[in-house]
Chains A and B, each alone.
Chain A
Amino acid sequence: MLEVDGRFFVLLMSNGILIGLMYSLIALGFVLVYKATDAINFAQGEFVMIAGFVVAVCLVAYGAPLWLAVSAGLLGMVGFGFGLERVMLRRLIGRPIIAVVMATIGLAAILRGVGPLTWGAETKPLALPISDEPFIVGPLFIPPIQLLGASVSLVFLGVFGWFFLKSRKGIAMRAVADSQQVAMAMGINVERYFALAWAMTGVVSALGGVIWGSMLGVDVHLSLVGFKVFPVVILGGLDSIPGAILGGLIVGVVENVAAGYVDPYVGGGTKDFAPYVLMILALMIRPYGIFGKKIIERV
Chain B
Amino acid sequence: MSAVRDDPRPLLSVNNIEVIYDHVILVLKGVSLRVPAGGIVALLGANGAGKSTTLKAISGLLRTERGDVTKGTIEWEGQPIHRKDPAEVVTRGIVQVMEGRHVFEHLTVEENLLTGGYTRKNGHAAKQDLALVYRYFPRLAERRLVRAGYVSGGEQQMVAIGRALMARPRLMLLDEPSMGLAPMLVHEIFEIVSRMNREAGVAVLLAEQNATMALRFAQYGYVMENGRIVLDGDARTIGENEDIKEFYLGLSGVGQRKSYRDVKHYRRRKRWLS
Question: Cβ of B106 and Cβ of A178 under 8 Å apart?
Answer: yes
Tell me the smallest distance from the CB of B174 to a CB of chain A, in Å: 12
User: What count of chain B residues pass the 8 Å CB interface test?
Assistant: 33
Chain B residues with CB under 8 Å of A293's CB are 106
In the assembled complex, the Cα of A296 lies from the Cα of B149 at a distance in Å of 6
Chain A residues with CB under 8 Å of B86's CB are 184-185, 187
Tell me the smallest distance from the CB of A288 to a CB of chain B, in Å: 12
Chain A residues with CB under 8 Å of B227's CB are none
B residues in contact (CB < 8 Å) with A: 59, 61, 64, 85-87, 89-91, 95-96, 98, 102-107, 111-112, 114-116, 118-119, 123, 126, 147, 149-150, 163-164, 167
Tell me the smallest distance from the CB of B18 to a CB of chain A, in Å: 23
- Which 3 pairs between the two chains have the least Cβ-Cβ distance? A187-B90, A296-B149, A187-B119
22 pairs, CB–CB < 8 Å, chain A vs chain B: A168-B123, A175-B104, A178-B104, A178-B106, A179-B102, A180-B64, A181-B102, A182-B98, A182-B103, A183-B115, A184-B64, A185-B61, A185-B102, A186-B90, A186-B118, A186-B164, A187-B86, A187-B118, A188-B87, A188-B119, A296-B106, A296-B147
Chain B residues with CB under 8 Å of A172's CB are 115, 118
In the assembled complex, the Cα of A175 lies from the Cα of B102 at a distance in Å of 11
In the assembled complex, the Cα of A126 lies from the Cα of B39 at a distance in Å of 67
- Count A-B contacts at CB 8 Å: 80
Chain A residues with CB under 8 Å of B111's CB are 171, 174-175
In the assembled complex, the Cα of A181 lies from the Cα of B52 at a distance in Å of 14
In the assembled complex, the Cα of A175 lies from the Cα of B107 at a distance in Å of 7
Chain B residues with CB under 8 Å of A175's CB are 104, 107, 111-112, 115
In the assembled complex, the Cα of A181 lies from the Cα of B86 at a distance in Å of 10
In the assembled complex, the Cα of A187 lies from the Cα of B262 at a distance in Å of 45
Taking A186-B95, A186-B167 as known contacts, 14 extra A-B pairs with beta carbons closer than 8 A to each other, sorted by chain A number, are A168-B126, A174-B107, A175-B111, A182-B103, A182-B104, A183-B104, A184-B64, A184-B85, A185-B95, A186-B90, A186-B119, A187-B87, A187-B89, A293-B106
In the assembled complex, the Cα of A277 lies from the Cα of B111 at a distance in Å of 38
Known interface pairs A171-B115, A296-B149. Does A185 touch B98 (Cβ–Cβ under 8 Å)? yes
User: What count of chain A residues pass the 8 Å CB interface test?
Assistant: 21
Chain B residues with CB under 8 Å of A181's CB are 61, 64, 98, 102
In the assembled complex, the Cα of A298 lies from the Cα of B155 at a distance in Å of 14
Interface of A is mostly: helix
Chain B residues with CB under 8 Å of A185's CB are 59, 61, 86, 90, 95-96, 98, 102
Chain B residues with CB under 8 Å of A177's CB are 106
Least CB separation from B59: chain A residue = A185
Tell me the smallest distance from the CB of A276 to a CB of chain B, in Å: 29
In the assembled complex, the Cα of A232 lies from the Cα of B64 at a distance in Å of 35
Chain A residues with CB under 8 Å of B96's CB are 185
Question: Cβ of B107 and Cβ of A171 under 8 Å apart?
Answer: yes
Q: Residue A151 at the B interface, CB < 8 A?
A: no
Chain A residues with CB under 8 Å of B147's CB are 296
Chain A residues with CB under 8 Å of B85's CB are 184
Tell me the smallest distance from the CB of B267 to a CB of chain A, in Å: 32
Chain A residues with CB under 8 Å of B102's CB are 179, 181-182, 185
Chain B residues with CB under 8 Å of A180's CB are 64
Least CB separation from B166: chain A residue = A186
Tell me the smallest distance from the CB of B90 to a CB of chain A, in Å: 3
Known interface pairs A185-B59, A188-B87. Does A179 touch B95 (Cβ–Cβ under 8 Å)? no
In the assembled complex, the Cα of A126 lies from the Cα of B42 at a distance in Å of 68
In the assembled complex, the Cα of A178 lies from the Cα of B163 at a distance in Å of 15
- B150: contacting residue among A179, A188, A189, A296, CB under 8 A: A296
